[in-house]
Amino acid sequence: MELVPGTQAPELVAKGEAELGVAQGSEIVSVPGAEILGPLPANLGSVTLFTAGIAAASKAPDTAKAFIKFITRPEAAPVLKAKGFNPG
């Protein structure tokens, strides 16, 4: 069995060129023919913490703040989960 890590893993698995791939969930769900089987055990996996910020010189800071507020609302969680993220 060949284990393929990295961003190319979902595509290779979907094409049948690899039996198993390890990638972030958000990279897997967008590839037709690849599916998430579940998270790796805690001692093998890692978590990527995404953060948002607004540049001091932003031309639209209010829009940026509104977007951050929008994606951090509880109502956004199902959409984020469907895209392979684990909000919370």
Q: What are the residue boundaries of the structural domains of the chain, listed by start?
A: 1-48, 50-88
Per-residue pLDDT of 14-38, as tens digits, reads: 999 888 888 899 999 999 999 888 8
Per-residue pLDDT of 63-78, as tens digits, reads: 999 999 999 999 999 9
Q: Is the dihedral of CA 49, 22, 40, 34 positive or negative?
A: positive
Mean pLDDT over 36-51 rounds to 87
Side chain identity at residue 34, one-letter code: A
What distance in Å separates the CA atoms of residue 4 and residue 22, rounded to the nearest whole number?
6
pTM for the whole structure:
0.71
